[in-house]
Structure 1
Amino acid sequence: MTIRALAPLFVGDFEHYRDILVLPDDPRPAIPVRELITTDGLAWLLEHYRRFQPGDDRRALVSQWSRTYFVKLIVPTVAANMVLGHELPVALDKLEVILGDDGLPEAFRLPHEGQPFASKPEGPFERFKELLDGNFEPLIEGWNQQVKLSRKVLWNNAANYVEWLVHAMAGLGLPADMLADGKQLIESERRPDGGKNPMFSPVRYVERSSGPSPLRQRRQCCIRYRLPELALCENCPHIDKPPKGARLPESLVEQA
């Protein structure tokens, strides 16, 4: 069963996110996300994913898989949080992932439907604590330890989608104060304790003399080009100077 309290979110451009968050009565096989940062769990995941996405670069495989994980978890979770003031139980130890026929995350099974915040959160790091500290931080740290994939790459994979979502929701005419914590999350260089905010400034908008301008460009390359048949992303920071062996995306080749 999907979460009925979130139904107002999943209309128009966001309708296809309706069935991503499900409850314990969903019968599909699922994997506790916590297992995916163990040696055996990650080895199983990469072996399974290689059936659909060939490649020997474990770092690139994890990065590519994580992009689907992040976008599918971020969009409904962050939208529910900002628009409805509804907090969801998405910490690593609470969450299970359901894989699709392509080996990528299809849905997430939550232990319950969450609840409205008891009081208004004091800023983005309190509002998004469950997602950032409970899920992203241990997941990214675990993958970094297992495959030595840069934390910066993984955090940028996540923050990229938060930036996109905040701008997309602003484009729908949602009030600025409703989106303020999401905007502040990606505009704050430091956390309240003084530590660096890994979600800070995930993209830049670059003026170019040819092709699309300004180009929305990630700060970190997701290294997907290291996998067979995958080109650079359209918002890759290496678009103007591709690494050796990397291919431009077809959309940009056509405009060159």
Structure 2
Amino acid sequence: MAAGARESMAVFDGPKGLSAAFAGPHAWCNEKMMLSENLSDGISLPEFFASGAFDRALSLYAETSGGTDRRAVASMWSLYYFSALTIPYVVARVLDHQALPAAFDGMTVALSADGLPRAFGVATTGEWRDDDASDVFTLIGSLMDEHLARVVPHLKATGGISPRLAWNNAAVYIDYALRTAGTDPMSDQADAMVACRLMPNGGANPFFDCLRQEEEDGAPVCRRKICCLRYLLPGIPSCGSLCALPSQRKQ
């Protein structure tokens, strides 16, 4: 889409699905983010987290997975949540300048049979923004302020995982999306997301130092600051070199 083809901040009307960016290698995003009217079993996020449905979802996933550590169950649950939320958001933002709705209060979520998040619903297709794509906090600021900052306290209160772990889980998928969304990887923005202690507005950056670029056997690797605890769940494969625990990287 050429710059100036639409009025900045105008309502975006994607030709197919929720976003024109959800095509080719990103077509799977259509199954993770859609209009709420097309997500028939969706429940509003405020209701989901306030009604006890989140607690029941964690219990269901613990039962089906055989997990006995509540923190590990909640952390794995959040990995599904953050991947389905953040990757489609970043893909649309980077590839088509489309800012999908991110407000926690305006979204719905649907679960799989095992209690894990399956898809999100949004009320509209959002806005098209012709703004500076070189600043990562311009790209993901709304996602951080309007959604992630709202869900992290629920993960702590009900799931028992620390805010630092929750933000680290989200950082992994945003970093992945920034580096792989387009033909010109936004590695500089991904690096900047975790490099600064303070955000442009002066607030503390919850992503600071969540991921580190290190070298292993002469090759660059990305490594988490905090382990996601997946090793405490039966049958869940290790995340390999990404893991924060040396003992788990070869598992």
TM-score bucket (shorter structure): 0.7 to 0.9
Determine if the alignment matches structure 1 residue 149 to structure 2 residue 157.
Answer: no
Q: Determine which of 196, 211, 216 is the counterpart of 1:208.
A: 216
Unaligned ranges ≥5, structure 1: 243-247
Q: Using structure 1 for the length normalisation, give the TM-score.
A: 0.79
Kindly indicate whether structure 1 or structure 2 has the higher relative contact order, using CA contacts under 8 Å at least 6 residues apart. 2
2:115 matched residue in structure 1: 103
2:9 matched residue in structure 1: none
1:193 matched residue in structure 2: 201
Runs of 4+ in 1 over 6 A off after TM superposition: none
Alpha-carbon spacing, 1:233–1:39, altered in 2? closer, same or farther (3 Å): farther
**3-state DSSP class of the match of 1:17?**
helix
Q: Determine which of 225, 241, 248 is the counterpart of 1:219.
A: 225
Alpha-carbon spacing, 1:186–1:9, altered in 2? closer, same or farther (3 Å): farther
In the alignment, the residues of structure 2 paired with residue 215 and residue 182 of structure 1 have an alpha-carbon distance, to the nearest angstrom, of 14
Superposed CA deviations along residues 160-211 of structure 1, whole A, max 9, x for unmatched, are 1111111213xx52376xx8655543443311233321123432233334xx
Please give the residue correspondences for 1:119-138 in structure 2 after superposition, counting only pairs within 5 Å.
120=131, 123-138=135-150
The alignment's C-alpha RMSD in Å is 2.8
Q: Determine which of 174, 177, 187 is the counterpart of 2:184.
A: 174
Aligned residue pairs total 236
In the alignment, the residues of structure 2 paired with residue 199 and residue 101 of structure 1 have an alpha-carbon distance, to the nearest angstrom, of 32
Superposed CA deviations along residues 132-167 of structure 1, whole A, max 9, x for unmatched, are 111101100222133431111110100111111112
Alpha-carbon spacing, 1:127–1:164, altered in 2? closer, same or farther (3 Å): closer
* Alpha-carbon contact 2:18-2:35 (below 8 Å) kept: no
CA-CA distance at 1:39 after TM superposition: 6.7
Look up the equivalent residue of 1:19 and give its one-letter code: E
In the alignment, the residues of structure 1 paired with residue 39 and residue 178 of structure 2 have an alpha-carbon distance, to the nearest angstrom, of 33
Q: Determine which of 234, 238, 243 is the counterpart of 1:236.
A: 243
Look up the equivalent residue of 2:141 and give its one-letter code: K
* Alpha-carbon contact 1:82-1:181 (below 8 Å) kept: no
* Alpha-carbon contact 2:36-2:42 (below 8 Å) kept: no
Look up the equivalent residue of 2:150 and give its one-letter code: P
Alpha-carbon spacing, 1:17–1:107, altered in 2? closer, same or farther (3 Å): same
* Alpha-carbon contact 1:208-1:214 (below 8 Å) kept: yes
Alpha-carbon spacing, 1:26–1:39, altered in 2? closer, same or farther (3 Å): closer
Alpha-carbon spacing, 1:237–1:195, altered in 2? closer, same or farther (3 Å): same
Compare 17-26 and 133-142 and name the one that shifted more: 17-26
**3-state DSSP class of the match of 1:217?**
strand
* Alpha-carbon contact 2:106-2:122 (below 8 Å) kept: yes
In the alignment, the residues of structure 2 paired with residue 85 and residue 111 of structure 1 have an alpha-carbon distance, to the nearest angstrom, of 18
Determine if the alignment matches structure 1 residue 38 to structure 2 residue 45.
Answer: no
